[in-house]
Amino acid sequence: MSRPRISSRTQAERLAATRAALLKEARAIFATAGYEAAATEEIVKRAKVTRGALYHHFRDKRDLFEAVVEEVARGIATMIDDTAVPARTPLETLVEGMRAFLDACLDPAVRRIYLIDAPAVLGWHRWREIDAPHGVRSLREGIAAVLEERPDPALAIEPLTFLLSGASNEAALWVAEAKDEKAARRAMDRALGELIERLFAPSRSPRARARV
């Protein structure tokens, strides 16, 4: 006689709870200690699971870290999308989305995991693969919406996406490392608004574009 289906659902729920506990504690430890110093023994202890449970869900510490990075990437994208929704124009949506990215990355845990350790541990190629459907996707959609409203043959979506993505990463690190973070953030917000407005300004002449 086969077991009731509820048993398999309960088992699935237990597995999901174990994975969630591992990700939660791993994220906290990776954020405070950094990847290199983080110990799987401590992660297992805090999650109150066995080492066997850890290796049931993840191949090794790097695999666990990659899952944490993916979780962080989803959180950043959600914050960007939620913040940008109320904006009135595509240009405002783009600016607010980029500011939301800065907000997310000024969280020390996000910054340590996503901007500092992730590229070093996973490599730039893998890190960009993880970011592609999240932060990069949101930025690309924002740029595409602006260019649809303000067509400019001198500007292409793909190069602009990675140009502004790199600028956003550096901006987040610069603000975080400033002696006066609040003042640095205000200065960055002003610079960001001016940069985007001038970049997509419809009044620029073709000759002026060529000099930029």
Cβ atoms of 117 and 64 within 8 Å: the answer is no
Residue 88 banded pLDDT, cuts 50, 70, 90: confident
The segment(s) of the chain belonging to CATH 1.10.357.10 are 60-202
Which structure tokens are listed for 57?
Answer: 């869900």
Q: How far apart are CA 173 and CA 136, in angstroms?
A: 17
The fraction of the chain above a pLDDT of 90, given in percent, is 84
Which structure tokens are listed for 94?
Answer: 């783009």
Which structure tokens are listed for 140?
Answer: 């690309």
Task: For residues 155-166, give the mean pLDDT.
Answer: 96
Q: How far apart are CA 144 and CA 49, in angstroms?
A: 46
Alpha helices in the chain (DSSP H): 5-33, 40-47, 51-57, 61-84, 90-105, 108-110, 118-122, 124-131, 137-149, 157-177, 181-199, 206-211
What's the chain's average pLDDT? 90
**Residue 204: its pLDDT value, please?**
52
End-to-end CA distance of the chain: 75
Q: How far apart are CA 133 and CA 81, in angstroms?
A: 13
Which structure tokens are listed for 144?
Answer: 């595409």
Q: Reply yes or no on whether the pLDDT at 70 is more than 70.
A: yes
> Which of 43, 15, 44, 41 has its CA nearest to residue 31?
43
Q: Which range among 2-16, 43-57, 183-197 shows the weakest confidence by mean pLDDT?
A: 2-16
Between 212 and 97, the more confident residue is 97
CATH entry 1.10.10.60 includes domain 1-58: yes
Angle, CA of 53, 57 and 61, to the nearest 5°: 90
**Residue 205: its pLDDT value, please?**
43
Place of tokens 């989803």: 74
Task: For residues 70-77, give the mean pLDDT.
Answer: 96
Residue 5 banded pLDDT, cuts 50, 70, 90: low
Cβ atoms of 27 and 68 within 8 Å: the answer is yes
The segment(s) of the chain belonging to CATH 1.10.10.60 are 1-58
CATH number of 60-202: 1.10.357.10
Task: For residues 12-20, give the mean pLDDT.
Answer: 92
Residue 123 φ then ψ, to 5°: 90, 150
